[in-house]
Amino acid sequence: MRPRLALSSPLVLLLLIIALGLLPACQGRGDSTKAGHRSVTAVAPPPSGPPSAVPTLPASPALPPSKPSGGIDLVAGTLPAALTPSQQSRRTPVVDAVQRAAPSVVSILTEQKPQYNPFGFFGLEEADDSGRTSLGSGVIVDPRGLVVTNEHVVAGAARIRVLLADGRELPASLVGADQSFDLAVLRIEPTGKDGKEVKDLPSLRIGTASDLMIGETVIAIGNPFGLSHTVTSGVISALHRMVRAKNRTYEDFIQIDAQINPGNSGGPLLNVNGELIGINTAVHSGGPGIGFAIPIDRARTIVNDLLQFGRVRYGFLGLRVAPIHERRRQATGVLVTEVDVGSPAEKAGLVPGDVITHLGDEATVTVERFWDRVHRVLAGEEIRVRLTRGEVSVRSTALDPREMSQRARKRLGLEVVDAQGRAALVQRVSQGAIADRIGFQPGDAILQIGAKQVRSATDFYSAIGEIRPGTDTVMLVFRGQASYYVTVPF
């Protein structure tokens, strides 16, 4: 008869303890040697050049270094445990792209709601109990803390903060913004509210929109309705789409069917490689499934202008147009009335009397449509001008504000002097110039140009230097005992 061991036997307990202790350790070693458990974290390469150099968005940055992990927690931005075999089998390019990009996507918080959304499509969220308003999304494009978002997200903001994927809330300042293209650049402050230095932030790799294909998969990440880091995917529905909103026209949009909702404004549009190819901007008011993004190639030019010059360098063509006279109605387009000496238009061969029918692929059926298209031309951009006599190519140039001021000063025909720090006093009016035809007289005091107050001659010349050709500007003029608002065409 064999003896049986009781459960209380010390030998049995010892064997149980050893078995229970060794099993997890063995499993852990086995998991650590499995092949194929890899994910990539978006860690941008360190910036080149001296620290004082103005950063710009690279045209074709190098691939960010890889960092082995099992995936990224989209809410906390931390690295969870390694993927299970089941998860690994379901891992797709979309999953990889989201894991690369998620840490670089931020929420934009301000203390003031935007004054104007140019598209009028997005509803804006109500302020929460802390008095903040979550207006939209943004994307970090440089590890030193540069964030790109939409202009309407931060318009009129008195204070801006960004909320990172890892939960940190950091103050940010506005570097520059452009309402015409609805883009803004923020800079995260180098020191957080806890006094710690902020550096080496996760940044997104920048791709290109020049080779996009209709039907290819795209991914949008944003904060719709305050739901942080929401991911939607779809396909590119159309390219070079023109969108009209209120009194403006926005061209060259990427149209997508990925769901875009309130709060997605300013967030990234990605390809399946996790590269930034656009900035999500609007959704069509007709219904879901029609969203629009600004191509990253165009956004790069605008952002670099804001970083280097503090403003967008608009293109200058150097011509003015008028409606075609009734007796020439057999031609549809606008009539060239003036061509500036030495301008890109003159160098391209345009002359007064030419009839312009198209700028690029857009028909110039009215003077308003002509200027609307011209005001979307950037410095250095080449534009095809179709005439009734043929087609020419005009490469726009950038004009320094001082040169713009000199041209506007000559065209307007006003010489002004200081009026004891209260206004710009008209000293002379050139005969036959615009000011003469309107009725300006020496002694008139100019108090305001557009939204800018004028306290001196310097203010006056600075203000007219910012007026773009083809626009009408309102001036507040004081004469005698009364003031008048005068519309001045430029």
Q: Which residues contact 209 (CB under 8 A, 6 or more apart)?
A: 254, 277, 278, 295, 296, 297, 298
Kindly tell me if the per-residue pLDDT of 26 is higher than 50. no
Give yes or no: residues 304 and 226 share one domain. yes
pLDDT of residue 276: 95
Reported as a pLDDT band with limits 50, 70 and 90, residue 72 is very low
Reported as a pLDDT band with limits 50, 70 and 90, residue 193 is low
Kindly tell me if the per-residue pLDDT of 246 is higher than 80. no
Single out the residue in 398, 432, 448 at which a domain terminates: 398
Question: Which tokens sit at 55?
Answer: 């950063």
Total residues belonging to the chain: 490
Kindly tell me if the per-residue pLDDT of 292 is higher than 70. yes
Residue 435 covered by a domain: yes
pLDDT of residue 460: 93
DSSP string, 208-263: -STT--TT-EEEEEE-GGG-TTEEEEEEEEEEEEEEEETTEEEEEEEEE-S---TT
Q: How far apart are CA 465 and CA 467, in angstroms?
A: 6
Reported as a pLDDT band with limits 50, 70 and 90, residue 249 is low
Strand partners, 478: 445, 483
Give yes or no: residues 221 and 302 share one domain. yes
CATH number at residue 279: 2.40.10.10
**Beta carbons of 477 and 445 less than 8 angstroms apart:** yes
pLDDT of residue 339: 92
Give yes or no: residues 483 and 420 share one domain. yes
**Beta carbons of 298 and 292 less than 8 angstroms apart:** no
Residue 149 covered by a domain: no
- Give the number of domains in the chain: 3
Residue 254 covered by a domain: yes
Give yes or no: residues 305 and 342 share one domain. no
Q: Which of 275, 277, 280, 278 is nearest to 263 (CA)?
A: 280
Mean per-residue pLDDT for 166-191? 88
pLDDT of residue 234: 92
Q: How far apart are CA 419 and CA 424, in angstroms?
A: 6
Q: How far apart are CA 139 and CA 216, in angstroms?
A: 22
Task: Answer with the residue of higher pLDDT: 134 or 74.
Answer: 134
pLDDT of residue 38: 27
pLDDT of residue 342: 87
Give yes or no: residues 390 and 408 share one domain. no
The region of weakest confidence among 251-260, 297-306, 324-333 is 324-333
Residue 355 covered by a domain: yes
Mean per-residue pLDDT for 184-192? 85
pLDDT of residue 191: 72
Residue 21 covered by a domain: no
Residue 387: which domain range? 315-398
Give yes or no: residues 349 and 388 share one domain. yes
Kindly tell me if the per-residue pLDDT of 400 is higher than 90. no
Mean per-residue pLDDT for 29-36? 32
Give yes or no: residues 383 and 417 share one domain. no
Give yes or no: residues 350 and 378 share one domain. yes
Kindly tell me if the per-residue pLDDT of 364 is higher than 60. yes
Kindly tell me if the per-residue pLDDT of 271 is higher than 90. yes
Q: How many CB atoms lie within 10 A of CB 164?
A: 19
Give yes or no: residues 406 and 383 share one domain. no
Kindly tell me if the per-residue pLDDT of 348 is higher than 90. yes
Residue 77 covered by a domain: no
Single out the residue in 309, 325, 340 at which a domain terminates: 309
Give yes or no: residues 303 and 366 share one domain. no
Give yes or no: residues 348 and 296 share one domain. no
The helix/strand/coil state of 403 is: helix
Task: Answer with the residue of higher pLDDT: 359 or 87.
Answer: 359
Mean per-residue pLDDT for 49-57? 53
- Active-site residues: which are they? 152, 182, 265
Q: How far apart are CA 120 and CA 284, in angstroms?
A: 10
Residue 153 covered by a domain: no
**Average pLDDT for the chain:** 77
pLDDT of residue 443: 93
- What value, to the nearest 5°, has the Cα angle with vertex 288 and ends 284 and 291? 50
> Percentage of the chain surpassing pLDDT 70?
74
Strand partners, 321: 336
Single out the residue in 267, 284, 309 at which a domain terminates: 309
> Helices (DSSP H) in 123-193: which residue ranges?
151-154
What H or E segment, with its residue span, contains residue 171? strand 169-178
**Beta carbons of 264 and 251 less than 8 angstroms apart:** no
DSSP 8-state code for residue 197? B
Reported as a pLDDT band with limits 50, 70 and 90, residue 454 is very high
The position carrying tokens 């459960």 is 7
Residue 138 covered by a domain: no
pLDDT of residue 259: 79
Give yes or no: residues 389 and 359 share one domain. yes
CATH number at residue 407: 2.30.42.10
Mean per-residue pLDDT for 380-404? 88
